[in-house]
């Protein structure tokens, strides 16, 4: 039997383009951001990530993971949303995903938007210039190497 090696990416990002955000309500706006950057897949019914970002954005200060969980549950109940994905372990996993994409940071035992910055700054500095650029540069290395190994006329 042949074994197939599992390829693990060093970094990845999914980007999607949707309609202009002008007329979207607050939660739908955050949801489209999550879809746009690959934190949520189209058709996902488990959209707890949306409410996690939402409560962190709305919070006047840092929140512990327990406070995030409590606020998310309260928000979902208030808005008659299903209580799917509200387990503490899942909330912490989603917070880690947000940290990996540089959207939130952990300061002591609390979470805030990265450097308490605006999302436009975070996207431009952390995602666009650093994260996305490093991925694009590596893809270019593959393309250049393929052009060397498989020359065209």
User: What predicted TM-score, i.e. pTM, was given to this entire model?
Assistant: 0.86
Q: What local confidence, expressed as pLDDT, does residue 49 receive?
A: 97
39/63 same-domain check: yes
DSSP codes, the chain = -PPPPPP--S--------S-STT--HHHHHHHHHHHTTSS-TT-S--HHHHHHHHHHH-SS-EEHHHHHHHHHHHHHHTT----S-SHHHHHHHHHHHHHTTSEEEETTEEEEGGG--HHHHIIIIIIIIIIHHHHHHHHHHHHHHHHHS---
| Tally of domains within the chain | 2
The answer to whether position 64 is within a domain reads yes
CATH code of the domain containing 39: 1.10.10.10
32/94 same-domain check: yes
The answer to whether position 2 is within a domain reads no
61/124 same-domain check: no
- pLDDT per residue as tens digits for the range 44-91: 888 999 999 999 999 999 999 999 999 999 999 999 999 989 999 999
101/147 same-domain check: no
7: pLDDT confidence band, cut at 50, 70 and 90? confident
């Amino acid at each position: 039997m042949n074994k197939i090696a599992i390829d693990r990416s060093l970094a990845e990002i999914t980007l999607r383009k949707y309609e202009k955000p002008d007329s979207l309500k607050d939660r739908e706006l955050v949801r489209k951001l999550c879809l746009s950057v690959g934190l949520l897949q189209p058709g996902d019914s488990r959209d707890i990530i949306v409410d996690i970002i939402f409560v962190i954005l709305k919070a006047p200060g840092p929140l512990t993971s327990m406070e995030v969980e409590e606020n998310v549950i309260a928000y979902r109940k208030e808005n008659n949303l299903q209580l799917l994905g509200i387990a503490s372990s899942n909330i912490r996993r989603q917070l880690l995903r947000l940290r990996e994409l540089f959207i939130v940071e952990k300061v002591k035992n609390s979470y805030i938007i990265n450097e308490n910055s605006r999302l436009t700054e975070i996207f431009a500095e952390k995602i666009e210039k650093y994260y996305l650029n490093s991925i694009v540069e590596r893809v270019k290395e593959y393309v250049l190497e393929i052009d060397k190994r498989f020359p065209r006329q």
